[in-house]
Amino acid sequence: MDHNYLLLVLAGIVFFYGLFSGFLGKKNISGPMLIIAFALLFGPSGLNLISFEIEIETVEYIAELALVLVLFTGASTVKLSELKKAWQIPVRLLSVGLLLTIFLGIAVGYYLFPHTNFYALVLLALILTPTDAALGKAVVQNRDVPESLRESINVESGLNDGIIFPMILATTAVMLHSSAESEIGWGIFIVKQIVFGFVGGGIVGFLGGKFAVMASKRDWMEVAYQRLLSFALAIISYYAAEAMGGNGFIAAFVAGMFITLTTKSLQHKLQEFGDAESELLLAVVFLFVGFITVPALDSYWTWRTVVYALLSLTVIRMVPVTLSLLGLHLSWKEILFLGWFGPRGIASTLYAIIVFAKLNDPAMNPIFSVVLLTVLLSIFLHGVSALPAIKYLNKR
């Protein structure tokens, strides 16, 4: 089936879910759940009525574009005013909690996959550490959840993918260049990627935000273009950093953070665009996952894969969260709630696709199959459990 039919299928799913999104949302059925279920039923893994043949370069290009927008939007929509009110929870989650999650993920991987390359296990732990607020939208947008918890989940998911990416970049560089270049060589490469990524993103985010605010105050900018601001600056920051020799993904994340600092008056416009584009990106990415990635990697699923995926969503996530939040004035219900709602979604999927394309090593297929299964389980388990968990949280 050619690319035109791919667009038709995507448009049909988005249209159908859009018509009944409110009703389905009340029934704990999210857009990603519907897309994945449709793809698994009618795709090569099911009835095989619909199939696509798409070059890996095309998938990689779409994934890179999606990741640029996800990193930028996640950082740019963090509400600093709310963060100042309740900063302790997200700061602990993004420091102690994040590091403990990585170490525990590596340890469990080493136990379950003892013969796997150590750096591959590090990549597995890193890729599955970021959380996805878009998959937890039923929680983040529900007023029955205390505001401090909602904002903590939102801030954590908005920032942890950008914090993790330099680590993924460094690990991937080691795997690619350790046999061909000296340690000093790839070390310099990593430093340049991070430093110039920060510089390029900071310049574009700061100046772009200042110019946007100035134009908005003088009524030079139409409302529609205020919403498109995030798309334009995300792409510009990416290429600016790449031209400097830096990493464009890091630049997009940093630019989003600078936008948060410089365009407070426009932040609600960025949020409007971010909500819409995140839904479309979720649809595109998970359409690829269901029709292409699952059929390619499901043969690698073993009992070890299932065990790691389940532990990643429970023990590997919840134990570090619990330890990092000890000493705060939170009930055990609230701590368990924060620990459970760390859904793995679009960031983990995009990281896996990009790293898979960069490494181009079939030996990594079992590792990527673990990421895939974890994301699929997260989509359904976190989607179904959202409303019951909120009721449990508020139960006296």
338 assigned to some structural domain = yes
Q: Measured between alpha carbons, how far is 297 from 119 in angstroms, rounded to an integer?
A: 20
345 assigned to some structural domain = yes
* pLDDT for the residue numbered 180: 47
What are the helix (H) ranges across 128-179? Answer: 137-140, 147-177
Query: In this predicted model, what pLDDT tens digit does every residue of 211-243 receive, in sequence order?
Result: 887 887 777 777 767 667 778 888 999 999 999
pLDDT over threshold 90, residue 123 = yes
377 assigned to some structural domain = yes
75 assigned to some structural domain = yes
Q: How far is CA 41 from the centre of its chain?
A: 25
14 assigned to some structural domain = no
Specify the 3-state DSSP secondary structure of 28: coil
* pLDDT for the residue numbered 182: 56
DSSP 281-349: HHHHHHHHIIIIIHHHHGGG--HHHHHHHHHHHTHHHHHHHHHHHTTSS--HHHHHHHHH-----HHHH
64 assigned to some structural domain = yes
Find the mean pLDDT for residues 19-29: 77
pLDDT over threshold 50, residue 392 = yes
Q: Measured between alpha carbons, how far is 110 from 118 in angstroms, rounded to an integer?
A: 8
Q: Measured between alpha carbons, how far is 2 from 393 in angstroms, rounded to an integer?
A: 47
Query: Which domain does 127 fall in, by range?
Result: 57-394
324 — pLDDT class (breaks 50, 70, 90): very high
pLDDT over threshold 70, residue 269 = no
188 — pLDDT class (breaks 50, 70, 90): confident
Specify the 3-state DSSP secondary structure of 247: coil
pLDDT over threshold 60, residue 383 = yes
Find the mean pLDDT for residues 316-344: 92
Sole residue written with tokens 């709602």:
341
Q: Provide the token pair at 233.
A: 């600056």
Q: Measured between alpha carbons, how far is 350 from 70 in angstroms, rounded to an integer?
A: 10
H/E stretch holding 242: helix 223-244
Cα angle for residues 260, 262, 263 (degrees, 5° grid)? 70
* pLDDT for the residue numbered 3: 58
For the chain, give the mean pLDDT.
84
Query: In this predicted model, what pLDDT tens digit does every residue of 289-322 receive, in sequence order?
Result: 888 888 889 899 999 999 999 999 999 999 999 9
- 36, 37, 40, 82 from 285: Cα distances, Å: 10, 14, 14, 30
User: Residue 35: which of 390, 383, 298, 341 has the closest Cα?
Assistant: 383
29 assigned to some structural domain = no
Query: In this predicted model, what pLDDT tens digit does every residue of 129-168 receive, in sequence order?
Result: 999 877 777 777 778 888 888 888 888 887 888 889 889 9
178 — pLDDT class (breaks 50, 70, 90): low
42 assigned to some structural domain = no
- Dihedral of CA atoms 34, 36, 39, 44 in degrees, nearest 10, equals -150
Asked if residues 370 and 297 have their Cβ atoms less than 8 Å apart, the reply is no
The CATH number given to whatever domain includes residue 298 is 1.20.1530.20
* pLDDT for the residue numbered 311: 97
Domain count across the chain:
1
> Hey, which of 53-62, 369-378, 379-388 has the most confident mean pLDDT?
369-378
335 — pLDDT class (breaks 50, 70, 90): very high
pTM for this model (two decimals): 0.89
Find the mean pLDDT for residues 351-370: 90
Query: In this predicted model, what pLDDT tens digit does every residue of 46-92 receive, in sequence order?
Result: 888 887 777 777 778 888 888 888 888 878 777 666 666 667 888 89
Q: Measured between alpha carbons, how far is 138 from 147 in angstroms, rounded to an integer?
A: 14
pLDDT over threshold 60, residue 261 = yes
**Count of residues making up the chain:** 396
